Amino acid sequence: MLSLSQNEQNIKNVPRLVIGAPQGRSGKTTFTLGLLRAFARQGMAVQPFKKGPDYIDTSWHTAAAGNTCRNLDSFFMKKSEICSSVFDQSTDKKITIIEGAMGLYDGLDLQGSSSTAEIAKITRTPVLFVVDATRKTRSIAAMVMGYQHFDPGIQIVGVVLNKVARARHEKMAREAIEEFCKIPVVGAIPKDANLCIPDRHLGLITNGEVDEIDKLLDYFADVISKHVDLNKILTLAQSAPQLPRYSESIIPDTVEYSLKNRGSKPKIGIIQDAAFSFYYPENIEVLKALGAEVVPISALLDQQLPGDLDGLYIGGGFPEVFAAELEDNVSLRTDIRLAGEKGLPIYAECGGLMYLGRSIQTTSQSYEMVGLLPLDTKMESKPQGHGYTIMEANADQLWFDEKTEIKGHEFHNSRVINLAPYAKFGLKVKRGYGIDGQHDGICYKNVFAAYNHIHALGCPEWAEGMIKLAAAYSQSKWTQIEKMSG
């Protein structure tokens, strides 16, 4: 990935907007999905982004736009990485849409760190403001004006009224906003019970679980196309200034342990299916960039691991939802357990941690899992860990240098139970909860399994650790073969 300074001679304006709102549940996501699909249906190349560490919204964005959605998060990423990501993904697109999270100014502290507004300021992106107009008319103008002037670094360039009751309601709100706030109302979406996606404990459900997903997205797009001025939104996006340039370094093009110079190409399996779908694109891309061959695996359909694997990556997802199917695939579970016992490097996050344990216990039943780690997990009705994390790497693990600070996030409704007293932890919790409020990262042989999710831009050490262990495992296999043949 190139830094902005390297791209300076080729820099061009990126038409872009941040979709913000006064608070969550204003309708940002359904509006954004409809907008993405509406532009895509016009044959327009549109690039989606999501503020924050969200996996689920990004999967919906990808489906709506037809282009892979990326995350922008100032907790994990440097300013240069955020702007480089926007630039690199948007240079061949007609418009870039960045959906915010929560309220526009809601962040981690008094300064609004990691807020949607911070992303807008870092990228100098104008904001399109989505307002729930329920039971408000002229008061909406007062609210919008407050958001306009709260931070002079934020430029709100237009408003979309959501859940409008009738024509008179729209007229009063529109006139008040345009008169007192001096910005256009570019759309007024009527109340519509069908403009929603079913909820579950982790927020929006994954798009793979919704029947006729294209039909739903097309319906959103129909509503947006009818009630929103798409040409005006494109014009507002084109008013965005050039992306700023920051001098901070980003992911290095080379790693101290160069696989290409060694002529090695370790094969890393990634379990990607309906049960395990939480992966940042950058995590997979950086493994490939460092020389790995990436092989997709389904824990639901594949009966065994691919031959000659040198590493295995199991992301998060909803293994508890697919627990019966995972349990039924005995041959793959056995294959993974035996491979882990033989020293295969395995990195697992959240759902992956649950899968590697002995069992997953739901409210009604217990399901057998891989059995590689001496623990069980139990589903609870409320989140057991939720939010950004800061971890410190312990000495007694192979994946990170000791004392490495690892920024991540967690959101899990399961908790670890029946953990063997001899289990070793790879991480010390400085912020967050992890497994027990103090520790995370169960270590066993070459296995590392944690509730903590990491992003490769914020934690490049993870990819280096994966590649080094996979390459060493590959070399050990060849050494064994040579000994046997010799």
**Which residue is associated with the tokens 């240079």?**
91
Within 8 A by CB and 6+ apart from 355, the residues are 275, 276, 299, 314, 319, 326, 348, 369, 370
69 is catalytic: no
* C-beta neighbour count of 41 within 10 angstroms: 15
Torsion of CA 196, 410, 114, 85, to 10 degrees: -80
Q: Which helix (H) or strand (E) holds 128?
A: strand 127-132
Pairwise CA distance, residues 181 & 178, whole Å: 6
The SS3 call for residue 322 is: coil
442: amino acid identity, one letter? I
Pairwise CA distance, residues 399 & 347, whole Å: 9
Pairwise CA distance, residues 92 & 473, whole Å: 40
Query: Rounded to whole angstroms, what are the CA distances from 104 to 32, 130, 131, 154, 182?
Result: 15, 10, 11, 10, 19
Within 8 A by CB and 6+ apart from 167, the residues are none
Q: Which helix (H) or strand (E) holds 215?
A: helix 213-227
Residue 287: phi, psi to the nearest 5?
-60, -45
Q: Which helix (H) or strand (E) holds 163?
A: strand 156-164
Q: Tell whether the torsion through CA atoms of 148, 153, 157 and 162 is positive or negative.
A: negative
Pairwise CA distance, residues 339 & 429, whole Å: 29
Which residue in 83, 181, 350, 443 is the catalytic one? 350
**Which residue is associated with the tokens 């831009």?**
457
- DSSP-assigned beta bridge partners for residue 425: 442
* C-beta neighbour count of 402 within 10 angstroms: 10
Query: Would you call 484 exposed, middle or buried from its count of C-beta atoms within 10 A (0-12, 13-18, 19+)?
Result: exposed
Pairwise CA distance, residues 373 & 449, whole Å: 9
Q: Report whether 21 contacts 131 (CB < 8 A).
A: yes
Could you write out the DSSP letters of every residue in 15-49? -EEEEE-SSTTSSHHHHHHHHHHHHHHTT--EEEE
What is the 8-class DSSP label of residue 423?
A: -
The SS3 call for residue 217 is: helix
The residues annotated as belonging to the active site are 350
